[in-house]
């Protein structure tokens, strides 16, 4: 993998043996028990379940009152839900239409009893520490910035990196599902 030119302040810098130039390390400490040591990669479903990892956690924040809440997702149940959503929307996804629910993911804050506010995930400003599996299971990838999506696609060899934020959101959903279930029907 060529050294990256993007400015990611979280990056581990390792000295290159042949020059004074620094290159980014491909291997990072796994940021979560369900992530791997490769940037933007998660462990596959069988591997996770056989290690006893069944619950994926992350933090969200309410958009009006700033309540912070930790959420837990049941890995198998939520993944099944995402996979059936993809199956149901396969034809429009193939036509490069990104489902609306992925772009503007609504999730009402349940601390606010009036249901007037929504939660959004707290996404790490260090790109290598983004909790991708949590975002996938909560169907909250639509909260990522264009830059964060580009980072995902770049490090998971998703090409071409053309198309706007909508397209990259869609590719990130499919790419993460493919990581969880490499034999599943998740090719774009």
Task: Please give the Cα distance from 160 to 154 (Å, whole number).
Answer: 9
Give residue number: closest CB to Zn ion.
62
Chain residues 2-41 in contact with Zn ion, contact rule CB under 5 A: none
Pick the closer one to Zn ion by CB: 63 or 166.
63
Chain residues 116-145 in contact with Zn ion, contact rule CB under 5 A: 117
Pick the closer one to Zn ion by CB: 23 or 112.
112
38, 67, 154, 165: which one binds Zn ion (CB under 5 A): 67
Task: Please give the Cα distance from 24 to 12 (Å, whole number).
Answer: 6
Q: Say whether the peptide bond before residue 170 is cis (omega within 30 degrees of 0).
A: no
65, 87, 101, 182: which one binds Zn ion (CB under 5 A): 65
109 part of the interface to Zn ion, by CB under 5 A:
yes
Say which residues have a Cβ less than 8 Å from residue 160's Cβ, sequence separation at least 6: none
Helices (H) and strands (E) in the chain, counts: 7, 5
* Residues in touch with Zn ion (CB under 5 A): 62, 65, 67, 109, 111-112, 117
């Amino acid at each position: 993998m060529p050294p990256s030119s993007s400015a990611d302040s979280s990056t581990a810098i390792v000295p290159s043996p042949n020059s004074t130039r620094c290159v980014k390390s491909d291997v990072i400490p796994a940021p979560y028990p369900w992530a791997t040591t490769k940037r933007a990669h998660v462990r596959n479903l069988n591997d996770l379940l056989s290690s006893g990892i069944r619950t994926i956690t992350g933090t969200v924040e309410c958009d009006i009152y700033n309540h912070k809440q930790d959420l837990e997702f049941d890995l198998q149940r939520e993944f099944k839900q995402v996979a059936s959503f993809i199956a149901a929307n396969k034809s429009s996804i193939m036509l490069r239409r990104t489902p609306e629910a992925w772009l503007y993911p609504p999730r009402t804050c349940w601390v606010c009893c009036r249901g007037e506010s929504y939660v959004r995930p707290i996404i790490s400003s260090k790109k290598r520490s983004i909790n991708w599996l949590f975002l996938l299971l909560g169907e909250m990838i639509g909260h990522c910035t264009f830059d964060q999506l580009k980072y995902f696609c770049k490090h998971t060899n998703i090409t071409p990196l053309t198309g706007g934020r909508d397209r990259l959101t869609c590719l990130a959903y499919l790419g993460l599902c493919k990581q969880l279930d490499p034999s599943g029907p998740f090719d774009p």
